[in-house]
Amino acid sequence: MEKILVGLKRVVDYNVRVRVKSDGSGVETDGVKMSINPFDEIALEEALRIKERGEASEVVVVSVGGSEAQQQLRTGLAMGADRAILVVTESELDPLTGARVLMELVDREQPGLVLLGKQAIDNDNNQTGQMLAALWGRPQATFASEVVLNGDTAKVTREVDVGLESIDIDLPAVITADLRLNEPRYVKLPDIMKAKKKPLDEIQFAEMGVESAVPVANLQFEPPQQRAKGIMVDDVAGLVSALKDKGLL
């Protein structure tokens, strides 16, 4: 396989406690640590392992967003990707438009495999990978916990509701990574320095010729209600009485 394309999305770091803006218009991001979507990082790790086994010659990381997304792409380059592409837009894109942008990049790059995270932790849509496969007209394997390449095919173990499912798909294809696929490597300082010299190309969204889908409007954001404090009871009778007081019995 000549090339693997990996999508990276810039999201609020999963260790950060998310706060809603005071006007309810969205999630607070000013001064908040941002990082690669964890599932995308797993997808990149899998692509790098495939390359290290000699089953691919190049790993290209791509992202769609503002210029600040260069930070996440540089991290991807430091992990071991060969080059990066940023489609620059300040607008928040819906999953279908994101899939159309990726489809345009697929047409330009002609990868043998596209690896994405199964979902982004900011919106949890779990749609882009499936939409890309439909637009591309190629097979898909979602929620992958193991990927084994064999020439022009791949055997993918998927995590499904009833357990694990193994399927064989023809390549090129779209595979989305689940949590148990691997553990991403740590980035070392020398690799960060080397990443600064690797190519990172910027393409303006308007140059992609992509039609924007009708966006889904988020009208209001609200934090979840705070949980009530628990109470201590002395015995079973006290528990039953407390449940009755709350209308639960």
65-109 per-position pLDDT tens digit = 999 999 999 999 999 999 999 999 988 888 999 999 999 999 999
At residue 214, does pLDDT exceed 80?
no
Task: Spell out the domain ranges in the chain.
Answer: 3-222
Is omega for the bond preceding 172 within 30 degrees of 0, making it cis?
yes
Handedness of CA 167, 173, 177, 182 (dihedral sign): positive
At residue 216, does pLDDT exceed 80?
no
Name the superfamily (CATH) of residues 3-222: HUPs (3.40.50.620)
Specify the pTM: 0.86
DSSP annotation string for 230-244: P---SSHHHHHHHHH
Measuring CA to CA, which residue among 10, 39, 59 is closest to residue 142?
39
At residue 235, does pLDDT exceed 80?
yes
At residue 135, does pLDDT exceed 80?
yes
Rounded Cα gap, residues 83 and 120, in angstroms:
22
CB-based contacts of 197, cutoff 8 Å, min separation 6? none
21-63 per-position pLDDT tens digit = 888 878 888 888 999 999 999 999 999 999 999 999 999 999 9
Residue 111's pLDDT band, with cuts at 50, 70 and 90, is very high
pLDDT confidence of residue 104? 96
